[in-house]
Structure 1
Amino acid sequence: MTMKFSFQRTAGSSTEIDPGTIPLNERLGLIALIDEKLRLGPPESSLVPDLFHNLWDLVEATVSGSRIDRLKPEEGRNGFRTFEINAETGENLGRLHMLYLKKSIPCYYLVYVEVGGPFRKKGLGSRILEYFKEFLIEKSAIGVLDNIIPQEDPSYGIYSKQGWEPLEAFIGDGAEDGEGTFMVYVPSRWRNKPLREPLLKIVHHLKRKRAAIEMRDNEIMVQRTLDEFKGIYSALLAYFRREIDTGRPTPLAQFMFTRFVTKLVSFRRRIGALIGYTGGDSVEQIALPPAIRSLPVRAYPPSEFHGRNVPLVSGDMALWSRLPATLKKYPARFIESLPNYNRPSLASWLKERGMFPSDRLTIGDLMDLGFDPTRLKEIVLDGGKFIFDRIPARQSASLQKRKEMLMRIELEMAHERPSSAALKINPPLLTIQDRGNVYILRRKVDGIHWEEAIEQLQSAPHLKGVNQAMKIDTVILGTVRNTLRAIAEKLALPEETVADALVCFVPWHLESNQPRLMIDFARTYLDSVWMA
């Protein structure tokens, strides 16, 4: 069975590619740039029929023809041993990483199992776990894993179905904090032997070494993700070769390159926060030529992808009725034409180049900035200042959970003052779904995201000296941490859940780019924070 294929555009297509081959994963990656939901198998798009031609049959054939390869220890990275699910052509569909622990009993720690998005819910995860179980039986070794899958997730029971049992089944009651999610697989040879003490030692060792294991895992993840970016970028260049060569890019090309670059710069920012990441694997390996860098940013796909699209609106309908008629008729087009929110990091960048917030940015500008400033747009309504925040439509479910959390904060924490700061909320007033995006309308507050505040304090020339003297960044960080902790305790939620769901804004003079502080004889503090 051959898993490579060639495409030719139909006569009515706006562009044409040379006959060639695009591997399945890169083909799926191109489709995901258009709309990530398309990877799950929606109707084919008439705009890119070559990408969708026979696609889902090919996915099924790839899964059914896949095999599990056991890499030799020396072929692994950073001490991990790996099983890979590969198509007959060698394309990787998923993997399992494990770590051998030289303890009093032979043991393998399952670091993680991953199956590529388009190939999920097709039995590959269960298949590779079954293979791992057979491996443990073959080696007569204990298996240990940390089941971090949320209990409400449909895949939560995948391990128990394979014979894995909670740690408590072998050590009894009294598991310490952080041990309740550990699970163990015990081959028959070890069933009648005392395992409590050996397992406790293994789990305590894993807890001590968790950071080191995550460092190894992060290094592999960064390189693998960079390889995926490189593959998709090569596919983009091939797919739009004629448009690039002739200098006449279509809206589709602009949109797909924009999506690619926004994902790339987002990844670049995220990896900086990974445990143990040193920057050895850099996104600078992907160099955009001038023809790509000069493309204007386009945040929504051509209308052909959505047909006669009717915007979905929820929230304050009285406010919706007061919006400009053109905005209500063409939401995405109107909102994307608004001036970008002039946040401090963008304002200083524009000033250096003699540009204005209303100037249209290019893909190269996004690479230089390191973030996508077009996500936030400013608008004045009835004399009031508001912000439109753009998120992908796939995040609309999480938006509802965020709104519910904010309402609880308003009702249950109206008088809370973490670190003496009044706790306020800035909830969505209106949401508009159009062209694959959701646009969230909020009031513009006199503050900025706390992370940007710290960046400005530590990098802006006029703020660095003041910050060193007054430790303002420490004040902000402490206030944010105490706020998140207070919310988590009051709402009975894990602090990580609150931090992932909500963002915190701190008081800031946007015009002068300076923090707004309360200073008395005893201390310096913030008068308020906003959760959004």
Structure 2
Amino acid sequence: MYRHGRQDMAEPGSGRYGPARHGNRNGMGRIGLNERLGLIGLIEEGVRLGTGASPIVADLFSNLWDLVDRTVSGSRVDRLKPEDSEKGFRMLEINSAEGENLGRLNMLYLKKPIPCYYLVYVEVAAPYRKKGLGNRILVHFRDFLVEKSAVGILDNIIPEDDPTFSIYLKHAWEPIESIIGDTVLDEEDRYMVFIPPRLKNRNMREPLLKLVYHLKRKRPAIDMRDNEIMVRRTLAEFKDVYAALCLYFRENLEEGSETSLMRFMFTRFVTKFIAFRRRISELIGYTGGESTEQITLDPRIARFPVKSYAPREIPSKPTLVFGDPTLWEKLPESIKEQPAGSIEALPNYRRPSFVTWLASCGRTYDTDLTLGDLMDLGFDPTRLKEVELEGRPYIFERIQARQLEYLYRLKDLLEGIQSMLAGRKAANAFIKINPPLLVIRDRGNAYVLRRKIEGIHWEEAVEQLQAAPKLKEMNRSSRVDRIIASTAGAARRAMMECVGRDEEKAAGSLACFVPWDLDRNEPRVVVDAAGLYLECVWFA
């Protein structure tokens, strides 16, 4: 969360806030703390340790974390007046002495059946985490509830194995079942409540039972309101970071020159933005009221070729994170010596939507893509690369190195359910998995090697069946799109039965792939006496 603020950079070594006496290149003295953090968020790897020797790291990193610490120590918690709040939401904000937002607590006031504040979420910007701000805002929220003599309630979605799981218990919150029992709760309910001192001697069971029922009924509306606010705020943050990038590289843009560092930074921005643009379409109740069309690229920037890995100005050392050593030995020497550059030079994976887009634009498969192309496509086709090792096809997937920890979790999850799913079917389709085989870390990215399967994501398959001219007529008569959707749903339900409660969120993020003839761009289906069905599906 990087918000535009009014705080200037601290004068180097001064220990106080004020205009920077020694301005950095391209007017960096006018880029505030949160904008610098936003730009650093695009670089990510190695920057927090100050290992980079590039000008941008020096400009952005100089005294940065001291400045973050001073900002945190000088922060205050502000209450927003009800009239300043959004559609019934109330907020507590953590702001620096200069007014920059460091975090917030969102709550919704419910008058019936008892005065209550439902805690929607606590949010602390990444650079300010683990500095006690979350605890401070929860203490303030507790005092707020005591002052109002109102009940607090929240849905604790923190996994039990997370170190922060007990944070609410430390602030006198308690599981709601300790008051109302667990017979009326659904398995996924994890409500916790805070009872203020004035209500401690009251019998709270009946009011809380009614409150839980009321919350369940209002939950879709709560999610819709929350989503609208989050989309609006995130779009504002994207605009702030884009403006900071343009300011940092202003001289280059005016001169018509470009560097690999510029291309890398703007590529990171664009890939993050188009990923956000895809995700918001899935949000409950999002209607597009806050249009992502607010963000358009300067034509000079739109023409930049895609640069998906950190340039040499930001040093890094290639690392084999995990994988089969024999598979590593099969890799070309160029990949082992210079993973990022060599993998990025491989052919892009020919997913149907990419091939269709190329044909519609009259472009050839080997054409270099620009940032404007990514904005037009709505996804990054350079993220998946095809490679052949000893005659067998594989796919390299590029992820950001900070996502490795989550990848480890998914890898363990896939390996854990593999034996449980062996031989199991969903709607006549065998359920298989396609786990990571090898992971290489280099230049701010991690490259994940998997077997190339003759399949595509089930949602893309449905899109092709409903939109591709040569498939639409066939689909009208056979309704393969419905077969694919129902099979993917049945397979996901079967897979979820194999995971524990704490793994449900991670399991829900696994992608489901269905058989597809990539050369002919058509589904692979089995037709026999049992009818029309898929031979298998894969989770990855």
What is the TM-score with the length of structure 2 in the denominator?
0.93
Q: How does 1:226-245 map to 2 (within 5 A)?
A: 226-245=235-254
Query: Secondary structure of the residue that 2:313 maps to in structure 1?
Result: helix
Structure 2 CA distance for partners of 1:178 and 1:375, relative to 1, 3 Å = same
Q: Distance in 2 between matches of 1:118 and 1:409?
A: 36
1:181 deviation in Å? 1.0
In the TM superposition, what whole-angstrom CA distance separates every residue of 1:217-242 from its partner, at most 9, and x where no partner exists?
A: 00000000000000000000000111
Consecutive unaligned residues of structure 2, counting only runs of 5 or more, are 1-5, 10-19
Report if aligned partners of 1:99, 1:108 keep a CA contact under 8 Å in 2: yes
Number of the residue aligned with 2:49: 42
**Within 2, Cα distance between the matches of 1:311 and 1:104?**
57
Alignment of 1:440-479 (within 5 A): 440-479=448-487
Q: Report the equivalent of 1:168.
A: 177
Q: Secondary structure at the match of 1:303?
A: coil
Specify whether residues 194 and 383 from structure 1 end up closer, same or farther in structure 2 by C-alpha distance, changes over 3 A only.
Answer: same
> Contact 1:17 / 1:242 at 8 angstroms: preserved in 2?
yes
How many angstroms apart in 2 are the aligned matches of 1:491 and 1:102?
38
Q: Which residue of structure 2 lines up, in the alignment, with residue 482 of structure 1?
A: 490
Query: What is residue 261 of structure 1 aligned with on the other side?
Result: 270
Tell me what 2:103 maps to. Answer: 94
What are the equivalent positions in structure 2 for 1:100-499 lying under 5 Å apart? 100-177=109-186, 180-307=189-316, 309-493=317-501, 496-497=504-505, 499=507
**1:328, distance to aligned residue in structure 2 (A):** 1.3
User: Hey, what does 1:13 align to over in structure 2?
Assistant: none
| One-letter amino acid matched to 1:331 | P
Conserved 8 A contact 1:422-1:528: yes
Please give the per-residue CA displacement for 1:420-467, whole angstroms capped at 9, x wherever unaligned.
Answer: 112222222222111121111222111111121111112212222322
Q: Is the 8 A contact 2:45 2:444 kept in 1?
A: no
Cα deviations by residue, 1:462-506 (Å, 9 ceiling, x for unpaired): 222322332222211111111121122134457843543422210
Partner Cα distance (2:258, 2:251) in 1: 9
What is the number of equivalent residue pairs in this alignment? 523
Asked if 1:17 is matched to 2:17, the reply is no
Give the drift of 1:86: 1.0
SS at the partner of 1:482? Answer: helix
**Cα distance change on mapping 1:410 and 1:126 into 2, 3 Å:** closer
Q: Answer yes or no: is 1:67 the counterpart of 2:76.
A: yes
In 2, Cα distance between the equivalents of 1:158 and 1:490? 29
CA distance in structure 2 between the aligned counterparts of 1:392 and 1:150, rounded to whole angstroms: 23
| Aligned counterparts, 1:25-40, within 5 A | 25-35=34-44, 38=47
CA distance in 1, matches of 2:143, 2:398: 47
1:7 offset after TM fit, Å?
8.5
2:489 is paired with a residue whose SS is helix
Determine if contact 2:71/2:96 at 8 Å carries over to the other structure.
Answer: yes
2:16 corresponds to: none
**Equivalent residue of 1:334, what SS?**
helix
1:500/1:392 CA distance change after superposition, 3 Å: farther
| 1:408–1:493 CA distance, 2 compared to 1 (3 A) | same
d(CA) in 2 for partners of 1:454, 1:310: 39
Q: What residue identity is the alignment partner of 1:96? A: L
Distance between the aligned counterparts of 2:322 and 2:174, measured in 1? 45
Task: Measure, in 1, the Cα distance between the counterparts of 2:452 and 2:132.
Answer: 47
Structure 1 495/55 Cα, relative in aligned 2: closer, same or farther at 3 Å? closer
Paired residue type of 2:357: W
Task: Give the residue type in structure 1 aligned to 2:52.
Answer: S
CA shift for structure 1 position 112 = 1.1
Mapped to 2, the partners of 1:17 and 1:476 lie a distance apart of 53
SS of 1:439 mapped into structure 2? strand
Which amino acid counterpart does residue 297 of structure 1 have in structure 2? V
Q: Which residue of 1 aligns with 2:60?
A: 51
Give the superposed CA RMSD.
1.9
- Alignment match of 1:4 (pick from 5, 8, 33): 8
Write the letter of the residue equivalent to 2:81.
K
Are the counterparts in 2 of residues 7 and 17 from structure 1 also a CA contact under 8 Å? no
Deviation at 1:9, TM superposition (A): 7.4
Structure 2 residue identity aligned to 1:45: G
CA contact (8 A) 2:51 2:315 kept: no
> Partners in 1 of 2:443 and 2:175 — Cα distance?
45
Distance in 2 of aligned mates of 1:493 and 1:484: 15
1:92 alignment partner AA: N
The answer (yes or no) to whether the contact 1:44–1:52 under 8 Å persists in 2 is no
1:407/1:44 CA distance change after superposition, 3 Å: closer
Checking the alignment, whether the CA contact within 8 Å between 2:261 and 2:313 is kept in structure 1 is: no
Deviation at 1:179, TM superposition (A): 7.0
Aligned partner of 1:84 among 69, 93, 96: 93
> 1 CA distance for matches of 2:147 and 2:170?
20
For the residue of structure 1 that corresponds to 2:30, the secondary structure is coil
CA distance in 2, matches of 1:112, 1:403: 29
Distance 1:498 1:58 in 2: 35
Write out per-residue CA displacement over residues 345-377 of structure 1, whole angstroms, 9 at most, x where no aligned residue: 000111122223322111111000000110001
Unpaired segments ≥5 residues, structure 1: 11-15
